[in-house]
Amino acid sequence: MAPPGDKSEASEEAMVAEPEQRPISTIVIIIAMQTEALPVVNKLQLKEDPDSVFPPGVPWVRYYGTYKDLNINLIWPGKDPTLGVDSVGTVSSALVTYAAIQALKPDLIINAGTAGGFKAKGANIGDIFVVLDCAFHDRRIPIPVFDLYGIGLRKACETPNLVKELNLKVGKLSTGDSLDMTQQDEASIIANDATVKDMEGAAVAYVAELLKVPAIFIKAVTDLVDSDKPTAEEFLQNLAAVTAALDQAVELVIDFINGKRFSQL
Ligand code: SAH
């Protein structure tokens, strides 16, 4: 290794600035559902990529464009090839996060989407949350250390200035592959101290950490899990209004990030 202050090393450093030292430039936004994704695509005037960067035959869709000084890629896992519904959940979101990072080398991942909220923890319908950390609530492995692996707690990229300036709520996110909630899930969600519950966040966080890309999670509350209304009904009832709030929030977040370095978030 070259001694400290070695000239060639210093000049190399100046040429290839570390991501922390230069403004964020390439962003990958992961959104699970078409209803959530299309308003953002339209707002940021993104175009669908006709030459997929993904393997042939997969349903994953990339929308891309330049917005202010940013290269934006929005990845939607697409419709299930057999059943024709959105490919929601952890498996699809982990796969597209991996493939998008490999193909597009982003500086930052943003996972945006709807979520269930807990009114006991201060969530209301239509609230936008910036997630502090993500964990799983349906990976129970009661063996020492495997239990922690199952929970899979991961921190989100810290964004104190963004939260303050945009006046967003903050909370912890718990992820599982079901829209409903069993009693065991509920106990794990409480143990995770979560305010919001989704089906993708902790999976995106896992891949982002593996590949060392900072990740931000923006979650809009479509349903209150601890209310009397059935979740699926409440979710569908509020989906359109809440996705409108979500796409506004994503635009504000992108506007805030534009021109900034990680240390300024
Ligand atoms: N019937 C719906 C199913 C969507 S699945 C449809 O119209 O196709 C729910 C999606 O919204 C997932 O991507 C998940 O991340 C999010 N979500 C919203 N509320 C949720 C909740 N209470 N629990 C888990 N995920 C929720």
CATH number of 25-258: 3.40.50.1580
Confirm or reject: Cβ of 222 under 6 Å from ligand 1: yes
The residues assigned a catalytic role are 36, 223
Contacts of range 49-52, beta carbons closer than 8 Å, 24 or more positions apart: none
Closest CA to 116 of 43, 208, 215, 201: 201
Q: Which has the closest alpha carbon to 158: 125, 129, 130, 119?
A: 130
pTM for the model = 0.92
Strand 61-67 to 47-48 pairing? antiparallel
Closest of 37, 189, 24 to residue 111, by C-alpha: 37
Which neighbouring-strand residues pair with 111? 30, 217
232 CB-contact burial (10 Å; exposed 0-12 / middle 13-18 / buried 19+)? exposed
pLDDT in tens, 215-239: 999 999 999 999 999 999 999 999 9
According to DSSP, the residues that pair with 131 across neighbouring strands are 171
Q: Which of 87, 124, 199 to mutate to test the pocket of ligand 1 (most atoms within 8 A of CB)?
A: 199
Q: pLDDT of 148-175, one tens digit each?
A: 999 999 999 999 999 999 999 999 999 9
- Give 88 Cα–ligand 1 centroid separation in angstroms: 8
The answer to whether residues 181 and 197 touch, using CB atoms and an 8 Å cutoff, is yes
pLDDT at 12 over 50: no
Cα-trace Rg, the chain? 19
Mean pLDDT of the chain: 93
